[in-house]
Amino acid sequence: MYNTNSMQTPDDAEAPLSFIFPIGYSYYATSKSLSTHLYQKLVDRYWRRSGTLLYRPNPRNSCCPHYTLRLDSTEFKPTKDQRQTVNRFNNYVIGPDYTHAAARVHPRTRQEARKRHNEFDLIDRIHEPEAQFLKTPPEPAHKFTVTLEPDEFTEEKYLIFENYQRLVHKEGPDKISRHGFKRFLCNSPLKRETIYTSDGVQRQVGSFHQCYWLDGKLVAIGVLDLLPHAVSSVYFLYHESFHSHNPGKLSAMREIALAREGGYRWWYPGFYIHSCPKMKYKMDFKPQSVLDPETLTWDLMDKEALAVFDAKHYVSLSRERQRKESGDPPQIFKNHFIRPESDGEGDEEEGDFMLGSSMPGIPSLEEMKQVDMDNLVLVSDATPGYFLASDLVSWEQQDIELDRKDIKSTIAELVAAMGTDVMGEICVDFRRRTRVL
């Protein structure tokens, strides 16, 4: 089956590559090892991850189209309500006794006092109640700390997960498990490491748990993917005792502050479903941009854009601009195979081959036939070591066709969904033992 003349050793392939196993619609893949550099490209192409599962939904063929959002942390200006949320929590942690005593023991200069009164510095206010930033004595009413930890399992973290899923998402005990927590929110395929920017600044990347501790107890966890140019929010969960402090708003602003302070710049709040009331809060943080599913370019999510989302089921703002300029009537996209009972968690399939589907933002079948995939690195249980796609005996005889599902067509789907420019960064991993979902 294989031509072994160009077999590679693990040293040749493993370190720089991300290992991807193709699954299919909407599009799905799994990964045991994924570089943050590659994942940054993928989130900018409509991908997200859940544990080791990577997925790219088809918004054109969904009952509830998913859209990618991002916010420029350097341009974020919190609203009055958001500022009040931070200030109320800070006052709760610090307490009036500390405030009055600290004014005598650690008085601000007149300039510092005037600046604090007239300006809301996001980074300063977010850190204000943390124990490491408070001058003592006196002692604050509560001890509040935030730690950034590897996304590893602990029993304390699981208890927060169990409480949150049971009370907020109303899940039954049979749906909540340690295994599910580990699979969903721990042990990400993203590699944790320290990178250096062009100006020599260190930056942590990889998957982390941002843990909130109040009086020595874990009360909330933000699951984050720190990417070369983004803080990507994966999930946020909290204990019921923390609910009164508006933890959703607090966590969002803390993550935006991290994006600004850490030099990541962009904050990605996860997929946005315009028709879902529970996701409307994401629009409260501005200015946000939405990724066009067809051109994979960003558009400001302003009032005009939101009006288009209000009026249409599926939205491509670039297509809307083109239609207005040409004077063409609106184009209607029919949604195929949508079940009435769908809960909006995923897309419905419309066929057996992605390159023959309505998936926007990918090369066409004819374009993929022109792509040279011969040098793609593969790995399989059937042979030791690494090999190239062209080493497959049947590779040259196979073609990419709508009515065939051979290995070349399977790989072509994956390349089309990820982008032809990332072929040198991935290893297509067909080993069964590495597929951990």
And the tokens for 162?
Answer: 């169990």
Chain-centre distance of CA 159, in angstroms? 24
Q: Across the strands, what pairs with 236?
A: 222
Instruction: Give CA–CA dist 315/273, Å, rounded.
Output: 11
Cα(47)–Cα(43) distance, integer angstroms: 5
Domain 78-267 has CATH 1.20.120: no
* CATH 3.40.630 domain extents, the chain: 78-267
Structure tokens at 224: 């984050």
**Range list of β-strands (E), 163-254:** 193-196, 202-214, 217-227, 230-238
Q: What is the pLDDT of residue 363?
A: 96
Global pTM exceeds 0.75: yes
Give, for all 437 residues of the chain, the pLDDT tens digit.
445 444 444 445 555 788 887 765 579 999 999 999 999 999 999 999 999 999 999 999 899 999 999 999 999 999 999 999 999 999 999 999 999 999 999 999 999 999 999 999 999 999 999 999 999 999 999 999 999 999 999 999 999 999 999 999 999 999 999 999 999 999 899 999 999 988 888 999 999 999 999 999 999 999 999 999 999 999 999 999 999 999 999 999 999 999 999 999 999 999 999 999 999 999 999 999 999 999 999 999 999 999 999 999 999 999 999 999 887 766 654 443 322 233 334 444 455 688 988 999 999 999 999 999 999 999 999 889 999 999 999 999 999 987 767 899 999 999 999 999 999 999 999 998 655 55
Long-range contacts at 84-90 (CB < 8 A, ≥ 24 apart): 85/245, 85/246, 85/249, 85/250, 85/253, 86/125, 86/126, 86/250, 86/253, 87/125, 88/245, 89/129, 89/245, 89/246, 89/250, 90/125, 90/128, 90/129
